[in-house]
Amino acid sequence: MKQLLALALLVLFCACKSTKQTVQNTQIATNNFKKEAIAEAEIKTDNNSKTETKALEENTVLKAKTEIKQDTTIVFNQVLTKTEHSNIHFLWNELLQKHVSANGNVNYKSFKIDHKKLLEYINILAILKSKPEFDSISREEKLAFWINAYNALTIDLIIKNYPVKNIKDIKNPWEQRLWQFGDKWYNLEDIEHKILRKMDEPRIHFAIVCASYSCPKLQNTAFTADNLEQQLTLATQEFLSDTNRNEISENTLKLSKIFRWFDKDFEQNGSLIDFLNKYSNVTISAKAKISYKDYNWDLND
């Protein structure tokens, strides 16, 4: 099995290297195409010139997305097997390390520059989800897959609408079916409520991030099956100890509204306070008074 995994990773590395070169070539061609399109549009001086320029840019993005889908499909269809599911999030990890601070602040402006690489990762996820082997991967692999997917798609949603101050400024942000995995179109609401919450892991609420200030911080490393337990525990502990999101003392709790919105998720094996005492550095009384803080939906940038 170790030899098989090593061989699979070697093949994946070679394939990814090939994909990277292809994407770089695509980026050069796309940039040239975009420059030419914009230059042509700027020649026009009538009142429709701005609209025409925007249309040309949108066509450029669509062309680039098509090329990414073709490139990644050709390469990754040859090498993706069950053994790679726990290692496929390397590209997302690179993006997080580059554009997300240790405190969880997201640089959406710089992330937008790497939008093509983000779309490449999302296409990889789509390919993985369409594989027959996906149904047989472990619970930890599925959790890591869908947590990373939710966060990546949220970033994609913000970038598509950037600049924007607040995720709620986007029309129906959680209901838009913008991403096709296999023969199904997904939105953020489905991933959170119909997939992740049904896996009976309440700590996912501190791992998935809605691009808002009051959310848990976006971790700047990708979730993986091998490290999932430690990552979920750390995310929970960090969120509870963050006094901007939660204020915890022995007898008084001022909690994030996440604990009110999803109260049943945290009461599967006892009370909410029982859950909190597992991860808080303060021992909370069972009779502690609970109130909830206002939720700030401004971007986590």
Q: What is the pLDDT of residue 182?
A: 86
Q: Which SS3 state, helix, strand or coil, does residue 81 take?
A: coil
Q: What is the pLDDT of residue 66?
A: 52
Report how far residue 299's alpha carbon sits from residue 268's, in angstroms, rounded to the nearest whole number. Answer: 31
Contact 117, 91 (CB under 8 A): yes
Contact 104, 219 (CB under 8 A): yes
Per residue in 266-299, pLDDT tens?
Answer: 999 999 999 999 999 999 999 999 999 999 999 9
Nearest to 155 by CA among 113, 194, 203: 113
Assigned token pair, 282: 């303060």
Assigned token pair, 209: 């991030």
Contact 52, 46 (CB under 8 A): no
Contact 183, 171 (CB under 8 A): no
Q: What is the pLDDT of residue 43?
A: 40
Q: What residues form DSSP beta bridges with 253? A: 248, 290
Q: What is the pLDDT of residue 55?
A: 52
Cis peptide before 163 (omega within 30 of 0): yes
Domain boundaries, the chain: 1-79, 241-292
Nearest to 87 by CA among 227, 207, 247, 279: 227
Q: What is the CA radius of gyration of the chain?
A: 21
Q: What is the pLDDT of residue 173?
A: 97
Q: Which SS3 state, helix, strand or coil, does residue 106 take?
A: strand
How many residues are recorded in the chain? 301
Amino acid occupying residue 192: E
Long-range contacts of 213-216 (CB under 8 A, 24+ apart): 213/296, 213/297, 213/298, 213/299, 213/300, 214/245, 214/256, 214/257, 214/293, 214/294, 214/295, 214/296, 214/297, 215/300, 216/104, 216/245, 216/258
Per residue in 129-177, pLDDT tens?
Answer: 999 989 999 999 999 999 999 999 999 999 999 999 999 999 999 999 9
CB atoms within 10 A of CB 229: 11
Q: What is the pLDDT of residue 183?
A: 87
CB atoms within 10 A of CB 247: 14
Residues of the chain below pLDDT 70: 1-87
> What is the value of pTM for the model shown?
0.75
